[in-house]
Amino acid sequence: MNTPSSTPANNATPWKHVWITGASSGLGEYTARLLAQQGCTVSISARRIEQLEAISKDFENVHAYPADVTDAAAVKAAAQAAEADHGPIDLALFSAGAWFPGSLRDMRVENFAKTIDVNLMGVVYGMDAVLPQMLERGSGHISWISSVAGYVGLPNSAAYSASKSALISLAESVHGELQKKGIAVSVINPGFVRTQLTDKNKFPMPFLMEPEPAAEKIVAGLKRKKFEIAFPWQMVLILKTLRILPYWLSLALIKRLA
């Protein structure tokens, strides 16, 4: 990873203060670094304090607020501390993720529960931490990282696909109500991106992206307040096509692809 200068560039974003959960690695970290380079004050949260502090040392405008996203009280406390120190959170990005690959023969209930807790409830707790203030101000932007795996149920990904599908539905459900209140909603659906999570995969990952261009796509989409930010287009096209096919055909194709 290239280590950017600690001096931020001129503000090129519509946000003064951004809060990112799951920011100690992966897309959360790379997006935090990119937004810091573009001049935002970035508050970052995750469980791993050492990684958060290492990122914040690279920038004068990045600040660490450790929190486990499965702990509702800790998430709320982190958001409150960040706002007390740096002002209202204009953009919240919830990017913490859990992924345990394997077939149902290897399913462990605790891993299934952790996937739902991190991927879904981690977003819900984040929303609870920032929405009251945004609703009071009548402005703000909330976003979270789902996945193209949320379009269809993929083999060996029961918990992951279920959690990501729920995140897409959550975004669809809250969009209309929050838009009327002046709050933008974005759901981010990446394909395979090279991170610590995907390093677990023992299978070929088509259209694998590096995290830097993925973060650039995320930030570009957020600046435009796009509801869905999805990439790469090849994976999006394939899986969205499968989603609209009748089940007898889509399930047969998914089986062959797997």
Q: Which residues are catalytic?
A: 160
Of 11, 4, 3, 38, nearest to 218 (Cα)?
38
Q: Which residues, other chains included, contact 136 with Cβ-Cβ below 8 Å and sequence gap of 6+?
A: none
Take residue 104 and report the two structure tokens written for it: 């149902």
42 phi/psi in degrees, rounded to 5: -120, 120
Provide DSSP, 79-134: HHHHHHHH---SEEEE---------GGG--HHHHHHHHIIIIIHHHHHHHHHHHHH
Of 25, 138, 116, 131, nearest to 79 (Cα)?
131
Which residue shows structure tokens 């990005």?
A: 93
Q: Is 108 exposed, middle or buried (0-12, 13-18, 19+ CB in 10 A)?
A: exposed
Pairing of strands 183-190, 140-145: parallel
CA distance 158 to 201: 15
| Beta strands, E only, 34-149 | 41-45, 62-64, 91-94, 140-145
Take residue 83 and report the two structure tokens written for it: 């706002």
CB distance 178 to 222 below 8 Å: no
CA distance 183 to 180: 7
